[in-house]
Every structure is written in structure tokens, then in C-alpha cells.
Structure 1
């Protein structure tokens, strides 16, 4: 009986994760309100989820706002690029949809494919920004190449994201925990990919006191 009240048992550990996911999701939603901050918010969401929610390193709010502040400028620019590109593609997609000709079918197919590519790139974009220091143009290029190179994982992550989007759209209430839970599930695939791009240190090399949590 005493083991049940042990805070380290699976029940309390799981309950704590649920509370943390709820708290992290609320922070994310609040920082998304200005719309233009959705880029740094998504970057911080992934960083705090991968580091604190999944690996129990640091405090969730502290890690979130650390990543939010550190990647604010580049996150805003990247987020606005994605939003603008999505808006333009949506207009073109609707225009092509209304054309009653073979040209319309071809254009509709092209814009649909571009939508899918942009969506796949966006899945990688902000996690990559949270982990690697690179220029914005190279950030988009890297995200595109990763999404194509690891296509099976990309498809699985896309399914996860779309599932939670649909869940929130249909029931609304899940929005209180969906962002963090979605990021958590994505992180299991994304972190496995990231490890392939991080140089592995030899056992005798010193880490210079840096917490290399992402290598675990």
C-alpha cells in the first residue's frame, strides 16, 4: 500500500506528466495569441516538450520561455513565411479548383502537392530551429531535405499532427492538452532523426559541463 503513495510510482509519474502537458499547452496557447508569435511559440513548445516533459530536465516554464526568447526573431520570420506561403497557396488552390478545364486540374494538383510539401516542411521547421543554429534560408532548406529523406517518419508525424488538429476541431476541449501531447509524440520520431545529424563524442571526450540531454 505504501508503494502506491510513492511519488515515483508509475501512477503519480503519469499524472504529473498529464499536469505538465496541460500547463505547457496553456503557455503555448497564450503566447500564440498575437498570431505573429506562433513561430517562436512552436519552437519553444517542441524544445520544452523534448527536454522537460519527456526527459525531466529543468522546469517546463523556464525552458519554454528560454527557447521562446532565444529563437524569437528567427521564429517570427519563419512563422510569417509559412503563414504567407499558406495564404498564397490557398488562394491559388481555390482559383484552380474553380477552373473547369484540364489546366485547372493540373494547377489544382500542383498547388495541392505544394500544400503537402509546405506542411511537411513546417513539421520539421520549428523543431530544427529549437535545436540547431542556422540562417533562415538554410533552416527551410534543411527542413525540406529532412522531410524528404526521412519520408516514412514524415508521414507518421503528419498523421499525428492531423489527428490532433481534427480532434481539436471536433471537440474543442482537447486543445487544453493537445499541443504538448502532439509535440511529445512527434518528438519520439524527430529526436531519432536529429541524432543522425549530431556528431557523437567519444567516451573519453569531456562535455565541458554542458547537459547534452538530446543525446540520450
Structure 2
């Protein structure tokens, strides 16, 4: 009978997996339009941040609530990042097709631009989810955070690389990734994000609902 006890660790784990499966599937559905990747990421991180504060929340319901709240503010920023990445990709393909000296000079610059844009986007959504701030201040913070908290950035990249490697080289993991992958990765990365925020602001535990300006742009200068 103890095996069917809801307080049994096995059933608690199964329950947690089911909750994160719902969160993961909702995230996958809401990124289908592509341009909504920004709002979906902001809502996802906002939800897992809330989970670290209160493990009893309904993850699916919380995600939908936070998606509605973050949608418009994140939609514009998402479009900007997508345009920048599309431009960098197009320029890279264009210059790569030209076998000229100037092309070889331009390619490293484009790679740097793409890397900086991706790292800025990596931090932008979690910053938006955690702190109440203007678009300009959040963007500036996101631009500087990868370098101000560099060791944490390396940790985030390690999680991404490990997840990508498992997806590419293990067939069974692809199914697990579709079911749970994005939500579990977001949770793992949220722990690093909170440490990174703590590193630069000293207070990663202020609820998002209470406007928090403890991470001003000036703190990263």
C-alpha cells in the first residue's frame, strides 16, 4: 500500500514529471509562430522562477497567466532579436559565397555579432521575467550580463551543449526532449540565472509581481 502513497517519493517524482510535461508542451505550442519565442521564453522562465519560490504552484496555469502578462512587452524584443539574427545569417551566407579578401575579414565580425546577439537574447527573457524594468535598461543589462557573470554564462552554455549533444547522439532522448526537454533545461538554467543575478544585484529572491529595480543598468558598469 505504501507504494501507492501519494507521499511516496516515486509518485512525487512522477507527478513532477507530469507537471513539467504540461509546461513543456504548452511552451512548444506557443513557440510555433516563431515570433512568439520571446514571450514564450519569458513566460517559461517566469514560471520556473516562481516554482523555485513555491513548488506547489500549478505550472500549466501559471505559464498561461505569465504568458499573457509578458506577451506584449516581449513580442517587440523578440522581433528585434529575430531580425538581427536573420540579418547576421543572411550576411554570413552572402559573404561566405564570395571568395574575396574582404569576405574573410567580414566573416569573423559577423560571427562575433551573431554570438553577442545570441548571448544577449539568452539573458534578455530571464531578466524580463525576473525584474520590472524598461526595454532599454533590460536590453543593456542583457548585453552586459554574459560578461559581468562570465562563469555563469559558461555554465549556461554547458547545459545547452549537453542538451544538444544528447538530442543529436541519443535517439531515445529525442522523445524525452520533446516531452520534457525545454522545461527541464529551463529549470536547470534558472538555478544558474538566479546565481548570476545574485552575483550582480545581491537579491535574486524578490518576486516578479513586486516591481524590483535592484538590477539597474549601472550595477553592471
TM-based fold match above 0.5:
yes
Match of residue 24 from structure 1: 23
> Does the Cα contact within 8 Å between 1:21 and 1:53 map onto a contact in 2?
no
Match of residue 13 from structure 1: 12
> Does the Cα contact within 8 Å between 2:120 and 2:143 map onto a contact in 1?
yes
Match of residue 135 from structure 1: 134
> Does the Cα contact within 8 Å between 1:123 and 1:158 map onto a contact in 2?
no
Aligned residues: 203
Correspondence list, 1:1-216, <5 A: 2=2, 4-52=3-51, 55-165=54-164, 167-168=166-167, 171=171, 172-173=174-175, 174-196=177-199, 197=201, 199=203
SS at 1:17's partner residue?
helix
> Does the Cα contact within 8 Å between 2:20 and 2:59 map onto a contact in 1?
no
> Does the Cα contact within 8 Å between 2:197 and 2:204 map onto a contact in 1?
no
1:168 to partner: Cα distance:
4.7
Distance 1:80 1:166, change over 3 A: farther
Q: 1: CA distance between counterparts of 2:204 and 2:105?
A: 46
Q: 1: CA distance between counterparts of 2:112 and 2:193?
A: 23
Q: Which runs of 5+ in 1 are unaligned?
A: 202-206, 211-216
Q: 1: CA distance between counterparts of 2:204 and 2:42?
A: 24
Q: Which runs of 5+ in 2 are unaligned?
A: 211-221
1:132 to partner: Cα distance:
0.9
1:5 to partner: Cα distance:
3.7
